Amino acid sequence: MLHRRNDMISLGVNIDHVATIRQARYRDMLDSPNAEPDPVEAALAAERGGAAGITAHLRADRRHIQDVDIFELRKAIRTKLNLEMGNTPEILEIALKVKPADVCLVPENREEVTTEGGLDCAGNEDALVPTVGALQDAGIRVSLFIDPEQEQVEAAARLGAEFVELHTGAFANASGGAQDDELFRLIAAAELADSLGLRVNAGHGINYTNIAKILRIPHLAELNIGHSIVSRATFVGIEQATREMVELLADDE
Protein backbone atom coordinates (compact mmCIF):
# COMPACT_ATOMS: atom_id res chain seq x y z
CA MET A 1 0.00 0.00 0.00
CA LEU A 2 1.38 3.41 -0.96
CA HIS A 3 1.98 5.67 2.03
CA ARG A 4 0.64 9.15 1.20
CA ARG A 5 2.49 11.69 3.36
CA ASN A 6 0.19 14.32 4.83
CA ASP A 7 0.81 17.94 5.72
CA MET A 8 0.98 18.63 9.44
CA ILE A 9 -2.02 16.95 11.06
CA SER A 10 -3.62 18.64 14.06
CA LEU A 11 -4.60 16.73 17.18
CA GLY A 12 -7.94 17.41 18.82
CA VAL A 13 -8.20 15.88 22.30
CA ASN A 14 -11.67 14.71 23.31
CA ILE A 15 -12.12 15.21 27.05
CA ASP A 16 -15.57 13.57 27.38
CA HIS A 17 -14.34 10.68 29.49
CA VAL A 18 -12.71 12.98 32.00
CA ALA A 19 -16.28 14.12 32.66
CA THR A 20 -17.40 10.49 32.68
CA ILE A 21 -15.15 9.86 35.68
CA ARG A 22 -16.51 12.94 37.46
CA GLN A 23 -20.12 12.00 36.78
CA ALA A 24 -19.58 8.53 38.24
CA ARG A 25 -19.51 10.08 41.70
CA TYR A 26 -20.70 13.69 41.41
CA ARG A 27 -23.53 13.49 38.91
CA ASP A 28 -25.91 15.37 41.21
CA MET A 29 -23.26 17.40 43.05
CA LEU A 30 -21.46 19.42 40.38
CA ASP A 31 -21.40 22.46 42.67
CA SER A 32 -19.40 20.53 45.25
CA PRO A 33 -15.78 21.66 45.65
CA ASN A 34 -14.95 17.95 45.57
CA ALA A 35 -16.39 17.40 42.08
CA GLU A 36 -13.44 16.08 40.14
CA PRO A 37 -11.74 15.64 37.75
CA ASP A 38 -12.43 18.96 36.04
CA PRO A 39 -12.74 18.70 32.23
CA VAL A 40 -11.50 22.27 31.88
CA GLU A 41 -8.29 21.46 33.76
CA ALA A 42 -7.89 18.41 31.53
CA ALA A 43 -8.33 20.57 28.44
CA LEU A 44 -5.68 23.04 29.61
CA ALA A 45 -3.28 20.17 30.31
CA ALA A 46 -3.93 18.77 26.83
CA GLU A 47 -3.12 22.17 25.34
CA ARG A 48 0.16 22.24 27.28
CA GLY A 49 0.89 18.83 25.77
CA GLY A 50 0.44 20.18 22.24
CA ALA A 51 -3.24 19.70 21.43
CA ALA A 52 -4.39 21.99 18.64
CA GLY A 53 -7.99 21.83 19.81
CA ILE A 54 -10.35 20.44 22.40
CA THR A 55 -13.34 18.28 21.50
CA ALA A 56 -16.35 17.73 23.74
CA HIS A 57 -19.71 16.10 23.05
CA LEU A 58 -22.74 17.68 24.71
CA ARG A 59 -25.18 14.79 24.53
CA ALA A 60 -28.93 15.14 24.93
CA ASP A 61 -28.84 12.89 28.00
CA ARG A 62 -25.87 14.82 29.53
CA ARG A 63 -24.16 11.55 30.50
CA HIS A 64 -20.74 13.18 30.75
CA ILE A 65 -20.16 16.74 29.52
CA GLN A 66 -22.57 19.28 31.02
CA ASP A 67 -23.75 22.64 29.69
CA VAL A 68 -21.55 24.52 32.15
CA ASP A 69 -18.50 22.58 30.92
CA ILE A 70 -19.04 23.80 27.38
CA PHE A 71 -19.33 27.44 28.39
CA GLU A 72 -16.30 27.20 30.68
CA LEU A 73 -14.23 25.43 28.02
CA ARG A 74 -15.07 28.14 25.51
CA LYS A 75 -13.78 30.79 27.90
CA ALA A 76 -10.73 28.98 29.19
CA ILE A 77 -8.97 27.24 26.32
CA ARG A 78 -6.50 29.02 24.06
CA THR A 79 -6.77 26.78 21.01
CA LYS A 80 -10.23 26.00 19.63
CA LEU A 81 -13.36 24.24 20.80
CA ASN A 82 -14.87 21.54 18.62
CA LEU A 83 -18.39 20.82 19.89
CA GLU A 84 -19.85 17.46 18.97
CA MET A 85 -23.65 17.42 19.00
CA GLY A 86 -26.69 15.62 17.72
CA ASN A 87 -29.09 17.41 15.41
CA THR A 88 -31.53 18.60 18.06
CA PRO A 89 -33.03 22.10 18.57
CA GLU A 90 -32.01 22.23 22.22
CA ILE A 91 -28.31 21.55 21.59
CA LEU A 92 -28.30 23.77 18.50
CA GLU A 93 -29.54 26.66 20.64
CA ILE A 94 -26.66 26.10 23.07
CA ALA A 95 -24.14 25.88 20.23
CA LEU A 96 -25.31 29.21 18.84
CA LYS A 97 -24.78 30.79 22.27
CA VAL A 98 -21.37 29.23 22.86
CA LYS A 99 -20.12 29.80 19.30
CA PRO A 100 -17.34 27.20 19.21
CA ALA A 101 -14.93 27.36 16.31
CA ASP A 102 -16.25 24.05 14.96
CA VAL A 103 -19.32 21.89 15.38
CA CYS A 104 -19.25 18.23 14.42
CA LEU A 105 -22.73 16.79 13.90
CA VAL A 106 -22.92 13.20 15.09
CA PRO A 107 -25.64 10.57 15.55
CA GLU A 108 -26.86 9.80 19.05
CA ASN A 109 -28.33 6.60 20.47
CA ARG A 110 -29.24 6.56 24.15
CA GLU A 111 -28.33 2.87 24.41
CA GLU A 112 -24.74 3.27 23.18
CA VAL A 113 -21.79 3.76 25.50
CA THR A 114 -20.10 6.11 23.03
CA THR A 115 -20.96 7.23 19.50
CA GLU A 116 -21.18 4.17 17.27
CA GLY A 117 -21.53 4.53 13.52
CA GLY A 118 -21.62 7.60 11.34
CA LEU A 119 -24.32 10.16 10.71
CA ASP A 120 -26.68 9.22 7.87
CA CYS A 121 -26.32 12.43 5.90
CA ALA A 122 -27.71 10.89 2.73
CA GLY A 123 -30.91 9.82 4.46
CA ASN A 124 -31.36 13.00 6.50
CA GLU A 125 -30.35 15.84 4.20
CA ASP A 126 -33.60 17.77 4.63
CA ALA A 127 -33.29 17.67 8.43
CA LEU A 128 -29.62 18.70 8.33
CA VAL A 129 -29.92 21.65 5.93
CA PRO A 130 -31.34 24.17 8.45
CA THR A 131 -28.90 23.14 11.19
CA VAL A 132 -25.86 23.43 8.92
CA GLY A 133 -27.12 26.78 7.69
CA ALA A 134 -27.78 28.17 11.18
CA LEU A 135 -24.31 27.18 12.38
CA GLN A 136 -22.55 28.62 9.35
CA ASP A 137 -24.57 31.84 9.57
CA ALA A 138 -23.16 32.18 13.11
CA GLY A 139 -19.61 31.82 11.79
CA ILE A 140 -19.19 28.23 13.00
CA ARG A 141 -17.47 25.70 10.77
CA VAL A 142 -19.41 22.47 10.30
CA SER A 143 -18.09 18.93 10.21
CA LEU A 144 -20.18 15.82 9.61
CA PHE A 145 -19.15 12.56 11.30
CA ILE A 146 -19.73 9.93 8.63
CA ASP A 147 -18.87 6.38 7.71
CA PRO A 148 -16.39 6.14 4.82
CA GLU A 149 -19.06 5.59 2.17
CA GLN A 150 -19.41 7.33 -1.19
CA GLU A 151 -23.05 8.32 -0.70
CA GLN A 152 -22.30 9.89 2.68
CA VAL A 153 -19.34 11.88 1.40
CA GLU A 154 -21.37 13.13 -1.54
CA ALA A 155 -24.25 14.11 0.74
CA ALA A 156 -21.85 16.03 3.00
CA ALA A 157 -20.63 17.96 -0.02
CA ARG A 158 -24.19 18.78 -1.08
CA LEU A 159 -24.90 20.02 2.45
CA GLY A 160 -22.03 22.47 2.15
CA ALA A 161 -20.10 21.31 5.22
CA GLU A 162 -16.51 22.46 5.51
CA PHE A 163 -15.30 19.11 6.89
CA VAL A 164 -16.13 15.47 7.06
CA GLU A 165 -14.85 13.47 10.00
CA LEU A 166 -14.39 9.91 8.85
CA HIS A 167 -15.55 7.33 11.39
CA THR A 168 -12.57 5.05 11.99
CA GLY A 169 -14.32 2.69 14.41
CA ALA A 170 -14.71 -0.22 11.99
CA PHE A 171 -11.01 0.03 11.17
CA ALA A 172 -10.04 0.18 14.85
CA ASN A 173 -12.13 -2.86 15.73
CA ALA A 174 -10.84 -5.01 12.84
CA SER A 175 -7.58 -6.90 12.48
CA GLY A 176 -5.44 -8.42 9.77
CA GLY A 177 -6.84 -8.33 6.26
CA ALA A 178 -10.17 -6.99 7.47
CA GLN A 179 -8.42 -3.96 8.94
CA ASP A 180 -6.58 -3.37 5.68
CA ASP A 181 -9.91 -3.48 3.85
CA GLU A 182 -11.29 -0.85 6.21
CA LEU A 183 -8.20 1.28 5.65
CA PHE A 184 -8.76 1.12 1.88
CA ARG A 185 -12.33 2.35 2.46
CA LEU A 186 -11.06 5.27 4.52
CA ILE A 187 -8.46 6.16 1.89
CA ALA A 188 -11.06 6.09 -0.89
CA ALA A 189 -13.47 8.23 1.13
CA ALA A 190 -10.74 10.76 1.90
CA GLU A 191 -9.76 10.98 -1.76
CA LEU A 192 -13.37 11.53 -2.75
CA ALA A 193 -13.93 14.13 -0.05
CA ASP A 194 -10.87 16.08 -1.10
CA SER A 195 -11.97 16.00 -4.74
CA LEU A 196 -15.32 17.50 -3.69
CA GLY A 197 -13.70 20.34 -1.78
CA LEU A 198 -14.18 18.91 1.72
CA ARG A 199 -11.45 18.96 4.34
CA VAL A 200 -10.88 15.61 6.02
CA ASN A 201 -10.76 14.80 9.72
CA ALA A 202 -10.95 11.36 11.31
CA GLY A 203 -11.72 9.87 14.68
CA HIS A 204 -13.02 7.01 16.83
CA GLY A 205 -10.95 4.17 18.25
CA ILE A 206 -7.61 5.67 17.22
CA ASN A 207 -4.85 4.74 19.67
CA TYR A 208 -1.08 4.85 20.08
CA THR A 209 -0.65 1.67 18.04
CA ASN A 210 -3.08 1.88 15.14
CA ILE A 211 -2.33 5.54 14.44
CA ALA A 212 0.59 4.42 12.26
CA LYS A 213 -1.86 2.95 9.75
CA ILE A 214 -4.31 5.83 10.14
CA LEU A 215 -1.59 8.18 8.95
CA ARG A 216 -1.68 6.44 5.56
CA ILE A 217 -5.01 8.16 4.91
CA PRO A 218 -4.38 11.11 2.58
CA HIS A 219 -5.54 14.70 3.05
CA LEU A 220 -5.99 14.46 6.82
CA ALA A 221 -6.34 17.83 8.54
CA GLU A 222 -7.14 16.70 12.08
CA LEU A 223 -7.48 13.58 14.21
CA ASN A 224 -9.85 13.69 17.18
CA ILE A 225 -8.77 11.23 19.87
CA GLY A 226 -10.24 10.82 23.33
CA HIS A 227 -10.49 7.43 25.00
CA SER A 228 -6.94 6.32 24.27
CA ILE A 229 -5.44 9.56 25.57
CA VAL A 230 -7.58 9.59 28.70
CA SER A 231 -6.65 5.93 29.30
CA ARG A 232 -2.95 6.66 28.91
CA ALA A 233 -3.37 9.67 31.20
CA THR A 234 -4.28 7.30 34.03
CA PHE A 235 -0.57 6.44 34.17
CA VAL A 236 1.25 9.54 32.90
CA GLY A 237 -1.22 12.44 33.08
CA ILE A 238 -3.14 14.27 30.34
CA GLU A 239 -0.28 16.57 29.38
CA GLN A 240 2.21 13.77 28.81
CA ALA A 241 -0.37 11.48 27.16
CA THR A 242 -1.17 14.26 24.70
CA ARG A 243 2.51 14.98 24.09
CA GLU A 244 3.14 11.33 23.25
CA MET A 245 0.34 11.34 20.67
CA VAL A 246 1.55 14.61 19.16
CA GLU A 247 5.01 13.07 18.81
CA LEU A 248 3.55 10.17 16.86
CA LEU A 249 1.95 12.65 14.49
CA ALA A 250 5.22 14.53 14.12
CA ASP A 251 7.08 11.29 13.37
CA ASP A 252 5.08 11.03 10.14
CA GLU A 253 6.46 14.30 8.82
Catalytic residues: 57, 84, 204
Nearest-angstrom CA–CA distance, 137 and 140: 7
Q: Encode 106-145: b = buried (16+ Cβ within 10 Å), e = exposed.
A: bbbeeeeebbebbbbbbebeeebeebbebbeeeebbbbbb
> Do the Cβ atoms of 222 and 9 come closer than 8 Å?
yes
User: What are 84's strand-pairing partners?
Assistant: 57, 104
CA 164-167-173 angle, to 5 degrees, is 165
CA 55/CA 21 separation, integer angstroms:
17
